[in-house]
């Protein structure tokens, strides 16, 4: 059965990113390697990724994906990715299975579930997007 799971790292004061919307702090925290192993195990049950435009844009820029689209495969494997956005100027990663969607999260539930099959859906971020899934009754696990 498909579960919608919000799994993320946060600072002790509740932030996902720093003031510049960067996630770099995640990679310098003591014990980070253990967390990476845990997320690798979690990823085995995930077939769909959901993220907001700020998270998506940070990953694209941080990994320089327009110039190195093969890195998308390293990061996301063959997972379908839905990016929720109200913007139409986001960069596209060549060859990546990305769908840009807008509107209410519930408007896309059937399509997301179909893409996931029996696997889980990982709501990567941001926090506001996860809140929209919770409000719509579509968040099964934190």
CATH number at residue 54: 3.40.430.10
Residue 95 lies in a domain: yes
Q: What is the pLDDT of residue 75?
A: 87
Q: pTM value?
A: 0.84
**SS3 state at 13:** coil
Mean pLDDT of 69-78: 90
Residue 22 lies in a domain: no
**SS3 state at 136:** coil
Q: What is the pLDDT of residue 78?
A: 86
Residue 142 lies in a domain: no
> In sequence order, what are the beta bridge partners of 98?
81
Mean pLDDT of 39-60: 90
> In sequence order, what are the beta bridge partners of 84?
52, 101
Provide the pLDDT confidence category of residue 18 given band limits of 50, 70 and 90. Answer: low
Higher pLDDT pick, 101 / 74: 101
Q: How many domains in the chain?
A: 1
Mean pLDDT of 91-96: 93
Residue 26 lies in a domain: no
Residue 105 lies in a domain: yes
Residue 90 sits in which domain range? 4-8+46-135
């Amino acid at each position: 059965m498909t579960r919608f799971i919000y799994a993320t790292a946060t600072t002790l004061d509740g932030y996902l990113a720093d003031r510049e919307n960067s996630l770099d702090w995640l990679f310098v925290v003591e014990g980070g390697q253990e967390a990476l192993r845990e997320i690798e195990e979690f990823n085995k049950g995930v077939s769909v990724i959901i993220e907001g435009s700020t998270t998506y844009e940070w990953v694209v820029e941080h990994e320089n994906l327009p110039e190195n689209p093969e890195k998308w495969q390293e990061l996301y494997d063959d997972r379908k990715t839905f990016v929720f956005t109200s913007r139409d100027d986001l960069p596209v990663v060549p060859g990546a299975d990305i769908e840009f969607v807008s509107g209410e999260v519930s408007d896309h539930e059937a399509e997301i579930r179909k893409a996931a099959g029996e696997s889980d859906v990982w709501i990567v971020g941001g926090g506001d997007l996860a809140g929209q899934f919770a409000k719509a009754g579509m968040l099964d696990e934190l």
